[in-house]
């Protein structure tokens, strides 16, 4: 049996024999030129992850400030009304579109081609273009807000610029989603049917598809708002109406979409942590697919139809989405029961994320029950907060799981235990604060900066949310600290397969070489090809 | 057994041929664009329904959407679908003469669509700042679809040039991808045609 390797001390599993491959293209440039002009999916993915973590920390900090304003019920105390609403919309856009989505896409651009056994991502130059477009759009968006732009800004030129920049961000992330989805759909190695795709790649296929649908609808909203803003501000572009038309993307069910990759990360981390072959793989794939389909939210635009939250489709969707999540969680629990558990940071953090996502789904189901009278209270924000926290946990778990593979140096694993505690506590508090206030009938801040009918426990709830959001910001900072030495290529080099992984990304060196795999890949015959090889080798010894 | 024999494969493998990548990527992109337009059409229909329910007229005063132009535009697009499929078929059979004629006809029909669309826009008289928001929705939908058509024309131009220089003699997936994009564009127009131009 042949074995391929990159260095004498780093032997990677045998992937079998296949026909010889043609010659390689010339070596790409190194240094700054190599970064600016790269179409290498790993470099683009690293850039996405690095910048999005910085943005995520910054905007979770901004969100903490916005939440803190509600602690003093009755009126705003530190920020004026305009600044409050500006920061509120900026932090919502920033956390999701400058933090969560690009971070997951960055992870996917790095890992998905490796998992499916492809030498590159589909449309590598489009993936690189998406990163630079996203970065430029993000910079323009922040600059527009600084210049009093944003949906409710006072400077009309900056308001228009903020819409253009936001559209640029959405288009760029959409382009990256197309690259990832197409990679999973078409670039799989021999024998890897969709039923054998690793769970993270599958979850990115599902999440990417849903992101494309939801953000296409958001882009349609944005275009209509922009046209009306520039031509008379008759209806859609009137200052009071602009932001409210875009907020559905941050509300259920669409907001749950941003945490979907967590499901795949949890599945892959569980296989590594339990050291056993995943059982009922098709059920896991089906559960992730169903969860994705049930987070379709382009139709749930309450700005145009406030009564929608009482309609049968919305209620049914809100109640049913918890079922696939429970099915997946049950499978994870079964694996833990059957396997020899090794509590890796990625596993612990992704379990915390799953608990938060389950909480978000259950809270979303309650939100849809009309007799509870939670509609239009800040309970809805609590659902969004739980989903956001779950997504943050997903990113943290992904970084701890694949960080060493992505950067080639070990990520500080001990920090992962701290991240687990912080993300669980932070996420729970971040959501619970709004849920408590919402259960007491607390409504969001009014347009004049005051609070209508301040509910009992509202201040306590706001305090919990503030502390929770601050903890999530700390989680992101810890994540940056964990990754920084590896990103700067300091510290011990990572092994090719530090976990005893089961999927193809662990069959190549860390970081992977140009072309990703040193040798041709044998036909895949199960969802755990490396486990097949190990078990085959063990049988040979016997 | 694993890790016992070491190969000296220092050169990484080159990317394998993935003939469906461009087709799937194009289909996903075109469907996403189409979905964005469908969302706008949904808002258009909802808004129109709200306005009609209040007893008001939908089209603003002085605005008119005649039928001949939208119908001819639809017919033009349908014919262009056939000519593009003809071009892809000819390329697959390495019949360059037929391919050139078919791709040239498709480009001509696409250009004719753009001319008809701009003429329709010029005579429609729908103001962007119409008081009930009709103008914004009308221009957002028709403008986005025109942009989609123009994107398809650029795509077709690129693949036609590659076909001219022999790039698709063995593998005409670029032309097939353009045909997929164009077919979806025509499908989207069918919805716009009925919802915006026919039922008004």
pLDDT above 90 for A28: no
B68 close to A (CB below 8 A): no
Query: Residue A17 — very low, low, confident or very high, per pLDDT cuts 50/70/90?
Result: very low
Chain A contacts of B14, Cβ < 8 Å?
21-25, 119, 515
Per-residue pLDDT of A461-511, as tens digits, reads 889 999 999 999 999 999 999 999 999 988 889 999 999 999 999 999 999
User: Domain B21-56+67-198 classified CATH 3.40.50.2020?
Assistant: no
Identify which of A3, A22, A234 has the shortest CB distance to residue B4: A3
What whole-number percentage of chain A has pLDDT above 70? 91
Closest residue of chain B to A508, computed from CA coordinates: B12
Q: Is B57 exposed, middle or buried (0-12, 13-18, 19+ CB in 10 A)?
A: exposed
CB contact under 8 Å between B1 and A179, yes or no, is: no
Q: Is the peptide bond before A511 cis (omega within 30 degrees of 0)?
A: yes
Chain B contacts of A514, Cβ < 8 Å?
12
> B197 to chain A nearest CA, in Å?
19
Is residue A407 within 8 Å of A107, Cβ to Cβ? Answer: no
Identify which of A187, A227, A534 has the shortest CB distance to residue B136: A227
Identify which of B12, B18, B128 has the shortest CB distance to residue A513: B12
What whole-number percentage of chain A has pLDDT above 90? 73
Per-residue pLDDT of A259-294, as tens digits, reads 999 999 999 999 999 999 998 999 999 999 999 999
Distance CA A330, CA A337 (A): 10
Interface test mutation site (partner A, options B5, B7, B11, B12, max chain A beta carbons within 10 A) = B12
Tell how far CA A168 is from the center of its chain. Answer: 19
pTM for this entry: 0.92
Sequence-ordered alpha helix ranges (H) in chain B: 21-53, 68-92, 96-124, 134-164, 173-192
Q: What is the per-residue pLDDT for A232?
A: 83
Q: How many CA atoms lie within 13 A of A207 on its CB side?
A: 28
Measured in Å, how far apart are chain B's first and last C-alpha atoms?
Answer: 72
Residue numbers of B between 135 and 154 with CB closer than 8 Å to A: 135-137, 139-140, 144
> A294 to chain B nearest CA, in Å?
18
Per-residue pLDDT of A41-77, as tens digits, reads 999 999 999 999 999 999 999 999 998 887 775 566 6
Distance CA B142, CA B189 (A): 9
Q: What is the per-residue pLDDT for A10?
A: 44
Distance CA A483, CA A98 (A): 19
pLDDT above 80 for B26: yes
Is residue A201 within 8 Å of A264, Cβ to Cβ? Answer: yes
B118 close to A (CB below 8 A): no
Structure tokens at A281: 């793989």
pLDDT above 50 for A363: yes
Residue numbers of B between 165 and 194 with CB closer than 8 Å to A: none
ipTM of this predicted structure = 0.90
CB contact under 8 Å between A235 and B10, yes or no, is: no
Per-residue pLDDT of A123-161, as tens digits, reads 999 999 999 999 999 999 999 999 999 888 889 999 999
3-state secondary structure of A7: strand
User: Domain A38-541 classified CATH 1.20.210.10?
Assistant: yes
B53 close to A (CB below 8 A): no
**Average pLDDT of chain B?**
86
Per-residue pLDDT of A279-334, as tens digits, reads 899 999 999 999 999 999 999 999 999 899 999 999 999 999 999 999 999 999 99
CB contact under 8 Å between B5 and A2, yes or no, is: yes
Interface test mutation site (partner A, options B23, B39, B51, max chain A beta carbons within 10 A) = B39
- Mind giving me the DSSP string for A361-429? HHHHHHHT-GGG--TTSTHHHHHHHHHHHHHHHHHHHHHHHHHHHHHSB---THHHHHHHHHHHHHHHH
Q: What is the per-residue pLDDT for B174?
A: 83
Q: Is A231 exposed, middle or buried (0-12, 13-18, 19+ CB in 10 A)?
A: middle
Distance CA A291, CA A262 (A): 12
If one counts every other C-beta atom within 10 angstroms of the C-beta of residue B180, the result is 21
pLDDT above 80 for A29: no
For chain B, what are the domain ranges? Answer: 21-56+67-198
Q: Which residue has the higher pLDDT, A14 or A57?
A: A57
Chain A contacts of B6, Cβ < 8 Å?
3-5, 11
Q: What is the per-residue pLDDT for B82?
A: 94
């Amino acid at each position: 049996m042949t074995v391929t390797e990159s260095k004498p001390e780093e032997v990677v599993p045998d992937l079998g024999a296949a026909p010889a491959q043609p010659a390689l293209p010339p070596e790409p440039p190194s240094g700054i030129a190599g970064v600016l002009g790269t179409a290498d999916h790993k470099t683009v993915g690293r850039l996405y992850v690095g910048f999005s973590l910085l943005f995520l920390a910054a905007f979770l900090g901004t969100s903490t400030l916005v939440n803190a304003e509600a602690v003093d019920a009755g009126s705003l105390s530190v920020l004026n009304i305009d600044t409050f609403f500006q920061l509120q919309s900026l932090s919502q856009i920033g956390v999701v579109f400058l933090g969560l989505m690009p971070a997951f896409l960055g992870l996917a651009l790095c890992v998905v081609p490796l998992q499916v056994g492809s030498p590159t991502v589909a449309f590598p130059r489009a993936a690189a273009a998406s990163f630079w477009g996203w970065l430029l759009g993000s910079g323009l968006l922040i600059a527009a807000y600084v210049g009093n732009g944003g949906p409710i800004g006072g400077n009309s030129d900056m308001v228009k610029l903020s819409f253009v920049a936001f559209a640029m961000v959405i288009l760029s992330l959409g382009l990256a989603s197309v690259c990832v989805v197409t990679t999973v759909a078409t670039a799989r190695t021999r024998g890897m049917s969709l039923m054998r795709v690793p769970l993270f790649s599958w979850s990115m296929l599902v999440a990417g598809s849903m992101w494309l649908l939801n953000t296409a609808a958001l882009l349609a909203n944005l275009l209509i708002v922009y046209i009306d803003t520039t031509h008379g501000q008759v209806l859609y572009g009137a200052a009071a109406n602009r932001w409210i038309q875009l907020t559905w993307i941050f509300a259920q069910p669409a907001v749950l979409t941003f945490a979907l990759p967590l499901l795949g990360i949890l599945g892959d981390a569980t296989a590594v942590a339990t050291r056993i072959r995943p059982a009922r793989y098709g059920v896991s794939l089906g559960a992730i697919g169903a969860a994705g389909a049930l987070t379709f939210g382009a139709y749930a635009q309450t700005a145009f139809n406030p009564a929608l939250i009482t309609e049968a489709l919305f209620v049914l969707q809100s109640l049913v989405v918890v079922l696939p999540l429970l099915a997946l969680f049950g499978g994870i629990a079964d694996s833990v029961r059957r396997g020899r558990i090794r509590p890796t940071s990625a596993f612990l953090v992704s379990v915390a994320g799953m608990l938060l996502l389950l909480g978000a789904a259950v809270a979303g189901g309650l939100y849809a029950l009309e007799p509870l009278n939670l509609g239009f209270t800040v309970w809805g924000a609590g659902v969004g907060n739980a989903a956001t926290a779950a997504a943050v946990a997903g990113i943290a778990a992904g970084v701890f799981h694949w960080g060493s593979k992505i950067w080639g140096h070990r990520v500080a694993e001990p920090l992962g235990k701290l991240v687990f505690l912080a993300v669980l506590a932070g996420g729970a508090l971040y959501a619970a604060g709004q849920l408590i206030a919402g259960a007491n009938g607390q409504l969001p801040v009014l347009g004049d900066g005051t609070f209508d009918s301040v509910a009992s426990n509202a201040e306590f709830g706001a305090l919990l949310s503030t502390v929770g959001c601050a903890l999530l910001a700390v989680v992101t900072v810890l994540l940056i600290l964990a990754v920084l030495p590896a990103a700067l290529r300091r510290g011990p080099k990572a092994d090719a397969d530090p976990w005893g992984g089961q999927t193809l990304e662990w069959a190549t060196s860390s970081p992977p070489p140009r072309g990703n795999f040193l040798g041709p890949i044998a036909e895949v015959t199960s969802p755990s090809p490396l486990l097949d090889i190990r078990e085959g080798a063990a049988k040979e010894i016997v | 057994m694993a890790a016992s024999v070491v190969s000296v494969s220092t050169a990484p493998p080159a990317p394998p041929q993935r003939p469906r990548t461009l087709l799937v990527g194009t289909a996903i992109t075109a469907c996403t664009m189409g979905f964005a337009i469908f969302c706008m059409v949904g808002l258009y229909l909802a808004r129109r329904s709200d306005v009609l329910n209040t007893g008001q007229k939908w089209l603003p005063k002085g605005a008119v959407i005649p039928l001949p132009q939208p119908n001819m535009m639809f017919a033009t697009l349908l014919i262009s679908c056939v000519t593009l499929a003809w071009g892809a078929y000819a390329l697959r059979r390495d019949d360059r003469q037929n391919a050139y004629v078919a791709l040239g006809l498709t480009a001509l029909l696409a250009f004719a669509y753009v001319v008809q669309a701009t003429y329709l826009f010029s005579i429609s008289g729908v103001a962007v700042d119409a008081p009930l928001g009709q103008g914004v929705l009308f221009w957002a939908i028709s403008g986005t679809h025109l942009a989609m058509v123009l994107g398809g024309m650029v795509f077709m131009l690129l693949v036609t040039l590659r076909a001219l220089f022999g790039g698709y003699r063995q593998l005409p997936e670029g032309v097939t991808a353009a045909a997929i994009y164009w077919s979806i564009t025509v499908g989207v127009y069918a919805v716009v045609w009925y919802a915006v131009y026919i039922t008004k």
